[in-house]
Structure 1
Amino acid sequence: MPLPHWTSDNVLPPGRHPADLSDLYERFVWDAPHRNEREVLFSALSGYLGVVTRLIPSGRAWVGGTITVRSEQLPQDVDVVLIPDDWGSLKRLGGPARAALYGQLTLRGVIAEQPAMYLEQVQPVGGLLDGFLCHPGDEEAWEQTWSRGPVDGIVKGFAEVTW
């Protein structure tokens, strides 16, 4: 099912909208300004979801960020919150798979050694994407966050990719 058309506020209508990658491309790249920049972000998202679906057997990804707003401003990133169907499957991930999953998540307030440095934020896909993991019971808080429009008072929709 294709994503709905942009509202007069240049956002998706409020709510969660089921989509696949071709739907995301059509609305967020083809039907928006700055196609070249959006192509790069879409490629980051596509690769990211390819890795994530190998690590998490089944789940949903809510897609937000500036790519989901039709604006004359350059889009900066894609935001993704991952909602696994089976939280236990993540707890059972072995060392390399667990490390790979952590590498797909945005980390804040990181201290690295050799050389010692403080990093305010570490993002997957070269900083083109923020990836978050929704703990069971936190869906409502994420839904409220993903529904905030680019301007106070505007409620926007977001895309939901299921695998």
Structure 2
Amino acid sequence: MPLPHWTAENLLPPGRHPADLSDLYERCVWDAPRRNERENLFGALSGYLGVVTRLVPTGRAWISGGFTTRYEDGPYDVDVLLLPDDWGSLKRLDGPARAAFYGLLTLRGVIVEQPVMYLDQVQPVGGLLDGFLCHPGDEEAWAAAWSTVRGPHGPVDGLAKGFVEVTW
């Protein structure tokens, strides 16, 4: 299903918009500025979702952030929220698969050893993506967050944006 056209504010219209990756590419890469940077981000997203679908049998990904806007000065990464259809499938992942899955998520406030260092944030795919996991029952809170338009000084009152839902 094709994604709706950009609004006058260079956003997707408010709401959750089902799409496949070719629809996402058409609107957020082909029909947006800074195509070279967006091509790189789309490649990272495609590879990321390929790994996710090997580990999680069925689910959805909500895609948002600067990637789903038509601003001239971005995007810098892609924001992805994973919504597994069967939460139990995550609990059944074995050690290596579980480690691979958690390696797909953005971590904040990380302390590593040898050498000891503190990292504010660790992002998958070399920082091209922010990956988050939606716990059952938290969908409304995430939908509100994914719809929030952020300006240089925080959320923009009275303005909402849409986000994309890819299902596998």
User: Aligning the two structures, in what range does the TM-score lie when normalised by the shorter sequence?
Assistant: over 0.9
Q: Give the match for residue 15 of structure 1.
A: 15
Aligned partner of 1:2 in structure 2 is 2
Q: Give the equivalent residue in structure 2 for 1:91.
A: 91
Aligned mates of 1:74, 1:62 — CA distance in 2: 19
Name the CA distance, whole Å, in 2 between partners of 1:45 and 1:143. Answer: 20
Partner of 2:144: 144
Paired residue for 2:60? 60
**TM-superposition CA deviations, 1:63-97 (whole Å, max 9, x none):** 01111110111311100000000000100100000
- Write out per-residue CA displacement over residues 100-151 of structure 1, whole angstroms, 9 at most, x where no aligned residue: 0000000000100011100110000000000000000000010000001244
Amino acid at match of 1:160: E
1:160 aligns with 2:165: yes
Mind listing any 5+ residue stretches in structure 2 that lack a counterpart?
A: none
What is the match of residue 121 of structure 1? 121
Deviations 1:11-31 (A, max 9, x none): 001100001110010000000
Give secondary structure in 1 for the equivalent of 2:160.
Answer: coil
Most deviating of 68-77 and 21-30: 68-77
Residue identity opposite 1:115 in structure 2: P
* SS of equivalent residue, structure 1 residue 149: strand
TM-score by length of 2: 0.95
Between the aligned partners of 2:110 and 2:35, the Cα distance in structure 1 is 33
* SS of alignment partner, residue 154 of structure 1: strand
Percent identical residues = 77
Which AA in structure 2 matches 1:89?
A: S
Amino acid at match of 2:9: D
RMSD: 0.7
Shift of 1:154: 1.3
Match of 1:74, SS state, is coil
Q: C-alpha separation between the residues in 1 aligned to 2:112 and 2:149?
A: 34
